[in-house]
Structure 1
Amino acid sequence: MECAGKRLGTRCTGPPTRRCARCEAVAYCSVSHQILHWRDHKEECERLEEQMEQIDILNEFPFTFSEEATVQVCEKQETRCSFLTKRGVHQTGMWLYECCCGEPVMSFDCSRLDNTWDLGSTLCPCNEPAFTLSKHLISWKEYYDWRSIPLHSPVALLLHWPLTIYYATQLTQVADSGSLTSGINGKLHIHYLGPEKELLQLYVFSELHALFPHMDVHIDLIGPSIPQHRDGERIKLSNYAHCLGTDCVCKSSVESGVHTNDTSAVTLQLWRGLYHERYTDIVKDSYPHIVIAPNAGIAAYSSWLPTIELIKDMNIPAVFSDYCEEACHLGARCISSVTGFPPNIPIQLNPFRQPIVVENNALFIPCYSNCFLYGMSKWSA
């Protein structure tokens, strides 16, 4: 936690122990910094007060570890490192970037793509589901039940990436009273903007085999965090990420190199740069059905402005997520200002947000990766 008035010209006098008496979401090192910040804070104070009232809902997860991963991390009784260590996955494989001691994203190397959960077979989705979904999933509990995973398994910490993609496509269907995945000839093209830590967890996207059965899913991941030497690389995820069990059926599919559901495919392609700069190259082979931008931070980066204008001109569904409701509010306001269209997918809590709180937040409101969603199903009438 840092002083909300930290960048107002004068140096902080100590730790931020003085909280705003009304919203209690921000804190200051001194009375003078609180007074200086009021001209900025007064417009957001009431909103933050309302958001603080929803803390219990934000922290509500069905897992046996929920209190440990939410309240105890917020109160510094636990850390991400201690949480991962207790489950035997600290600094291993796809879990490497889930705490502050993970390696930098820019050093990632797809030639050593990790394709294991580092967990036993009962704790992870390492092969085909027992049955195809008959309805849309709307909670982590429904997903875990469907995949027969016990609620003490931590795999949701990584699976929030593909499940957020899945849920975003459902949101555009509901908002548009139609079906995004119907009438697209068994193929779903997604433009995925601004990937960072998921670049070290690419094999979790193989779960899209189960979430979109009998469909070819092609995801173009575009962003400046992709190393130059990986620009344009294509990665085919033929199998599910596998478990540690030596006799599990997932091992036979890995050895054969063929996915058991031969009517589906998941392909990733990497593009270095900003979306509006690389768009012409990308759409030569992959025009999107939907744009998805996880943890977008639209209001924080001016580079989003030409990208938003481009997406509007394309007139395709776009879904954005962020770590907290306030970031989504600022992002939605930015979209409205640039395009003249307010988002018609309202800001809402993502049921598939990552179930462990982000450490060292700027606010006292708990933040989660992919916490809230909003966007556009259409950009014109």
Structure 2
Amino acid sequence: MECAAKGGGTPCSGPPIRRCQRCQVVAYCSLAHQVSHRSAHKRECERFEQQMKRANTLNDFPFTFTQIQDTRCSFLNRLGVHLLGMWICECSCGGVSASSYDHSRLMSSWNLPSELCPCRGPSSPIPDCLTSWKDYYEWRHIPFCSPASLLLHWPLTIFRAIQLATLESLLPEFANELRIHYLGPERELLQLVIFGELQALFPGVKLYIDLVGPAIPNVRDGEKIDLCTYAQCNDMGCECQSSADSYRERVDTRLSSAITLRLHAGCYHDCYRELLQDSFPHIIIAPNAGVAAYKSWIPTLEVIKDLKVPAVFSDYCEEACHLAASCIRSVTGYAPRIPIQINPFRQPLCVEESALYLPCYSNCFMFGL
């Protein structure tokens, strides 16, 4: 957390311990800095105040582990998965990025016992109304002490994006095939096997997902990954162990892959023409997009506007979505057709370091064009 008036002309006198009494979202190092920032903050204070009123809703999860006040590192340590496999980038102490990690193999294990993770297909059809973590955990017979949602928020956010676009009649009809352009992946690149859960969420549908972003290492550009089963548990007697090889990149396979992932290094506006030759998308999805934070989004938004394809964005907090929607409006000329709303499948552990006191979760809020 930094002083909200940092960089305003005079240096900060100490840590930002004076919070705005009205919104409780920003903090200042001194009364002088708070006074100097008053006119700038006035425009946002009321909006922040309204966003803070939704804090209790945002912090409400059915999980038992979210009720424990703990750091991410301590929590993952207690589970025995700290800096292990797909969990390696779920805290900041490891300093691991997708570009620095060994990319020669696909991490395929939950590193959890079978009762805590969905390592096999569902035992019953997907419910007609799947709109919360409670619905999902009960359907997949996962106990609420399981941390699986910390990784599953990626495929469930895709599922929610499809739900929202369908409800707003933005998504063209699809039957046996769904093509998605997925923009800006980062830590997902170390958790790609989690996308195998999409075959349970979209039964009978072949999914083609093109992941595009500057965080993809050049050595992985063009990589194709077929997912035929689910991420494995660590129980040696479990049936999921027999399909371990299904998670590796394969040129020739006798198994019919439900999901095909392709990686593309670079910004979407630089490589979309080549993608469209092979895969015109039904929908574009940009998780934790940070649209207002990166100028590189402007040419990408222009491309999305010209493609006339539904696009769904998520971000860490409501304010980030608000700023993103304003930026998109200035580029496209129209407001989001899917209004800003809470993602019921947001990651249930809050971001530990954030610029504001607003509750922040990965994939916390969503909106769409």
**Does the TM-score normalized on the shorter chain lie above 0.5?**
yes
Residue in 1 that maps onto 2:280: 287
1:149–1:42 distance in 2 versus 1, CA, 3 Å: same
Residue in 1 that maps onto 2:268: 275
Residue in 1 that maps onto 2:60: 60
Q: TM-score, normalised by structure 1?
A: 0.92
1-side partners of 2:226 and 2:246: how far apart?
14
1-side partners of 2:225 and 2:106: how far apart?
10
Correspondence list, 1:86-105, <5 A: 86-102=78-94, 103-105=96-98
Residue in 2 that maps onto 1:303: 296
**CA distances 1:216-273 after superposition (whole Å, capped 9, x unpaired):** 1111111110111111111111221000001101012335779xxx666111111111
3-state SS in 1 of match to 2:168: helix
Aligned partner (choices 266, 272, 279) of residue 259 of structure 2: 266
Say whether the 8 Å CA contact 1:192–1:291 is kept in structure 2.
Answer: yes
Residue in 1 that maps onto 2:124: 131
1-side partners of 2:175 and 2:203: how far apart?
13
Q: TM-score, normalised by structure 2?
A: 0.95
2-side partners of 1:7 and 1:222: how far apart?
34
2-side partners of 1:53 and 1:235: how far apart?
43
Aligned partner (choices 168, 172, 179) of residue 189 of structure 1: 179
2-side partners of 1:171 and 1:324: how far apart?
18
1:173 correspondence with 2:166: yes
2-side partners of 1:316 and 1:117: how far apart?
34
Say whether the 8 Å CA contact 1:209–1:264 is kept in structure 2.
Answer: no
Q: Report the alpha carbon displacement of residue 149 of structure 1 after superposing the two structures with TM.
A: 0.5
Say whether the 8 Å CA contact 2:171–2:282 is kept in structure 1.
Answer: no
Aligned partner (choices 215, 225, 233) of residue 225 of structure 1: 215
1-side partners of 2:192 and 2:245: how far apart?
19
Say whether the 8 Å CA contact 1:215–1:264 is kept in structure 2.
Answer: no
Residue in 2 that maps onto 1:213: 203
Identity percentage over the alignment?
58
Stretch deviating more after TM superposition (82-91 or 7-16): 7-16
Stretch deviating more after TM superposition (4-13 or 22-31): 4-13
* Pairwise CA RMSD: 1.7
2-side partners of 1:137 and 1:216: how far apart?
20
Say whether the 8 Å CA contact 2:216–2:265 is kept in structure 1.
Answer: yes
1-side partners of 2:9 and 2:28: how far apart?
14
Residue in 2 that maps onto 1:367: 360
| Structure 1 segments (4+ residues) deviating >6 Å | none
Question: Could you tell me which amino acid in structure 1 is paired with residue 322 of structure 2?
Answer: H
Residue in 1 that maps onto 2:113: 120
**CA distances 1:63-103 after superposition (whole Å, capped 9, x unpaired):** 011222xxx3xxxxx21101111111111000000001231
1:353–1:91 distance in 2 versus 1, CA, 3 Å: same
For structure 2, the 5+ residue unaligned runs are 249-254
3-state SS in 2 of match to 1:110: coil
Q: Report the alpha carbon displacement of residue 9 of structure 1 after superposing the two structures with TM.
A: 3.1
For structure 1, the 5+ residue unaligned runs are 73-77, 377-381
3-state SS in 1 of match to 2:277: coil
Residue in 1 that maps onto 2:328: 335
Residue in 2 that maps onto 1:244: 234
1:315–1:255 distance in 2 versus 1, CA, 3 Å: closer
Say whether the 8 Å CA contact 1:215–1:263 is kept in structure 2.
Answer: no
Aligned partner (choices 101, 104, 116) of residue 111 of structure 1: 104
Q: Report the alpha carbon displacement of residue 188 of structure 1 after superposing the two structures with TM.
A: 0.7
Residue in 2 that maps onto 1:204: 194
Aligned partner (choices 80, 86, 93) of residue 72 of structure 2: 80
Q: Report the alpha carbon displacement of residue 42 of structure 1 after superposing the two structures with TM.
A: 1.4
Question: Could you tell me which amino acid in structure 2 is paired with residue 5 of structure 1?
Answer: A
Aligned partner (choices 149, 152, 161) of residue 159 of structure 1: 152
Counting matched residue pairs gives 363
2-side partners of 1:264 and 1:4: how far apart?
50
3-state SS in 2 of match to 1:242: coil
**CA distances 1:318-367 after superposition (whole Å, capped 9, x unpaired):** 00000000110010111111111100100000000000000021111110
1:5 correspondence with 2:5: yes
Say whether the 8 Å CA contact 1:108–1:199 is kept in structure 2.
Answer: no
Question: Could you tell me which amino acid in structure 1 is paired with residue 65 of structure 2?
Answer: F
Say whether the 8 Å CA contact 1:236–1:266 is kept in structure 2.
Answer: yes
Residue in 1 that maps onto 2:15: 15
1-side partners of 2:270 and 2:83: how far apart?
35
2-side partners of 1:285 and 1:217: how far apart?
14
**CA distances 1:292-323 after superposition (whole Å, capped 9, x unpaired):** 00011111111111111110111111000000
Question: Could you tell me which amino acid in structure 2 is paired with residue 226 of structure 1?
Answer: I
3-state SS in 2 of match to 1:154: coil
Say whether the 8 Å CA contact 1:223–1:274 is kept in structure 2.
Answer: yes
